[in-house]
């Protein structure tokens, strides 16, 4: 996996542009985090997996990716790669 695959690019833009891009990435990651946290409670397989391993969501933070972001990759790709 390369840095470019992770949305990390070298750019020589102004600090304000870089700050705006960083803030957009943070908002995007926060959105993913919230979605994955909710996904645990909406997924029977995720709840079964946690129960089988005696993992308590009141004590640990876990998330579940049902694949909705993978399938929407093209739509969201601009949020985590530099223009």
**SS3 of residue 45 by DSSP:** helix
Q: How far is CA 49 from CA 66, 67, 69, 77, in A?
A: 14, 17, 21, 30
Tens of pLDDT, residues 54-71: 999 889 999 888 887 665
Confidence at residue 10, expressed as pLDDT on a 0 to 100 scale = 59
Q: Could you give the maximum distance between any two Cα atoms of the chain, in Å?
A: 50
Average pLDDT for consecutive 10-residue bins of the chain (83 residues)?
A: 54 69 88 90 92 92 81 48 43
Q: How far is CA 72 from CA 3, 69, 75, 77, in A?
A: 21, 5, 5, 8
Q: Tell me if the pTM is above 0.75.
A: no
């Amino acid at each position: 996996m390369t840095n470019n695959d992770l949305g990390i690019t070298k750019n020589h833009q102004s600090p304000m542009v870089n700050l705006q891009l960083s803030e957009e990435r943070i908002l995007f990651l926060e959105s993913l985090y919230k979605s994955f946290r909710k996904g645990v409670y909406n997924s029977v397989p995720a709840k079964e997996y946690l129960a089988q391993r005696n993992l308590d969501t009141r004590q640990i933070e876990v998330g579940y990716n049902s694949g909705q972001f993978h399938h929407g990759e093209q739509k969201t790709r601009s949020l985590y790669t530099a223009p």
